[in-house]
Structure 1
Amino acid sequence: MHETSLGGTLRDYLSGEEIDETTFEEFRQALARLLVEEKGYPRQRIRAKVGLTYRVDGEEYERPLDFVVYDEQGRPIFLILFCAGNVGSFERETVCAGRLMEGGPVPYALVTDTMTASLLDVSTGEVKATGMAALPDWDSLLNMVSRATVTPLTDEQRERQTRVFHTYCGFLFGTCCSESCSLPHGGGEGE
């Protein structure tokens, strides 16, 4: 997924701060507005562009995650990734990200292109629902999370998930990124 700067700025819906306008930022902003205004998510529980840092063969990489939703204790409970392309192609990467999150794994994740979506059980990798109606409202999410079983990864599982995630990031996210990309990518580079 290649995200480039459009040379301007816009006001971030969640923070109110001026941020760089990119090719995907308007979609992110619309999704943030949907979460808060229509789905009832508390604005202060949502963080945007959370960096998922991981290591492969001694090299450090970072993949920005579009939205992470946290509970009252500050634990991540829901991950949302925006994708440009077939949502199904990004399901495995999204599950891996949910498993590798600091403070996680998260119980649930959603991948969306803002037209359709897949709600994923991070523990099993199973698609629980599809379509934009798959995005749970706040109360439903809290109910789902309260019933979920979340087991931390063993070191061996983390290593395997990291390698799978890195493969997806390199193929679907990182390969097109070059000096023009506005987001950090492989090796922590970026503008």
Structure 2
Amino acid sequence: MHDISLGHSIEDYLTGEAVEATTYEDIRQALARLLVEERGWPAERLKPRYPVQATINERQYTRVVDLAGFDGAGRPLILVLFAPGDVTTYERESLAAARLVENGPAPLVAVTDSRDAVLLATADGQRLEQGMHALPSPERAKELAAAHPVEPLDETRRCMESRILYAYSESLYDCCGGAACAAEGRGARFSGTDDEPENGGGTAI
């Protein structure tokens, strides 16, 4: 099942703005509510639909992630991605996003389908916790980030992670031609054009 537009708007829990209703948007809204009301995240430290930039063949590619959580200084602390399937199959894509996020890398990344979740250390991909309890409070996230620091990427590693993020992100909707799936509408695209890169971007894994 794909993330398909339902043809109307709903109010975003964090921003109060109107956002497109899709088959999965209610779940994303519930995740934001859980982080604020049950895990204690200040709403102002969570950003929905947060863009992650990758560079493919000298072109900017954007992958929007569902939620980004920030520390008190405004640095990315954790990315949270919704996965419509086995959460472990989305680990590599999510790690690439966390490594590429602006002012990052973000030291933590979580993947959840709303029933299960996995929390990963961005530095080495280590699974820190699994289950919905793995979605941390800001205090727990800060502790884990300190225990699993991550270094900035060099240019070679940034290129590799960009290609991995691109390859995984495009697979979200390529199987349905991109016509019905909302992934592209959520920001998975090249800046200024809908065209593909000349050699397809590659997958330097």
Matched, 1:10 2:13: no
Deviations 1:37-75 (A, max 9, x none): 000001000000011122212333211100000112111
* Residue in structure 1 matching 2:187, options 174, 181, 184: 184
Distance 1:48 1:130 in 2: 23
Map 1:19-98 onto structure 2 (within 5 A).
19-98=19-98
Write the letter of the residue equivalent to 1:22: T
Aligned 8 A contact 1:177 1:185 in 2: no
Percent of paired sites with the same residue: 36
How large is the Cα RMSD of the aligned pairs?
A: 1.7
Q: Secondary structure at the residue paired with 1:124?
A: coil
Shift of 1:149: 1.6
Q: Secondary structure at the residue paired with 2:152?
A: coil
Distance 2:146 2:121 in 1: 13
Unaligned runs of 5+ in 2: 195-205
Aligned 8 A contact 1:174 1:186 in 2: no
Count of residues paired in the alignment: 189
Distance 1:152 1:86 in 2: 29
TM-score (norm 1): 0.92
Unaligned runs of 5+ in 1: none
Q: Secondary structure at the residue paired with 1:167?
A: helix
Aligned 8 A contact 2:55 2:159 in 1: no
Distance 2:30 2:137 in 1: 16
